Structures are given as structure tokens and as C-alpha cells.
Amino acid sequence: MAQAEPCILQYDGLMSSTTRITVTLPSDQVAELRKLTDNVSGYVAEAVARQIRHQLLGDDLRRHEEEHGSFSDEELAEARAKIFGSAGTSKGADAA
């Protein structure tokens, strides 16, 4: 039996369909959220998409390290430079 192609999930902010759900948040967070945006659903959808991308990337990096070993200091420095530019610092990397 042929192995299925891996499915790559993309969360680019385009919503072809939606599902209405109820989410409970602390009142102070809701008050701050409403100060930031009048599109709470869109704001929350973007935050969820960002968290999903973060989780998927972390899973991919762990799998890579399991298969190929830990990243070298040089590989990490190169990745930081690509992400943060050549002026990137380890402090900036910790904020990501």
C-alpha cells in the first residue's frame, strides 16, 4: 500500500467556513481585548492560528532532532540570523 503524502496545514487568515463556538475568558482579558479590536472573532482566530503554527513547528523541529540529532550552535545561529536578521540576539530569540 502506498504511503500517503504528508498533509501540510496552512493557517493564512482565510476562512472558507466557520463554526460558532462559545469561549469563556476572564473578564479583564475580555475588557482589554475589546480595547484592542472591534473584531473579537477575527482577533481570536488569528491568535489560535498562530498558536497552531507554533505547535506544528515545534513538532517538526522535535521530529527533525530525533532523526538527525540536536542542532549545532552554527545551525541555531544561522536560523536566528534568518529569523531576526543579522543583528538578532539571543534575547530576541527568547521572545519568539
> Whose CA is closest to 25, among 39, 40, 38, 42?
40
CA–CA separation, 3 and 11 (whole Å): 25
Q: Is residue 19 part of a domain?
A: no
Please state whether 64 falls in left (phi above 0), alpha (psi between -120 and 50) or beta.
alpha
* Centroid of chain to Cα 30: 22
Reported as a single tens digit per residue, the pLDDT across 7-55 is 444 555 555 699 999 999 999 999 999 999 999 999 999 999 999 999 9
The pLDDT of residue 87: 60
- Which residue segment(s) compose the domain that 42 sits in? 28-94
- Lookup: cell for 77: 545561529
Q: Is residue 55 part of a domain?
A: yes
**Global pTM?**
0.62
Average pLDDT for 48-76? 95
CA–CA separation, 26 and 15 (whole Å): 26
* Three-state DSSP state, 21: coil
Q: Is residue 73 part of a domain?
A: yes
Q: Is residue 51 part of a domain?
A: yes
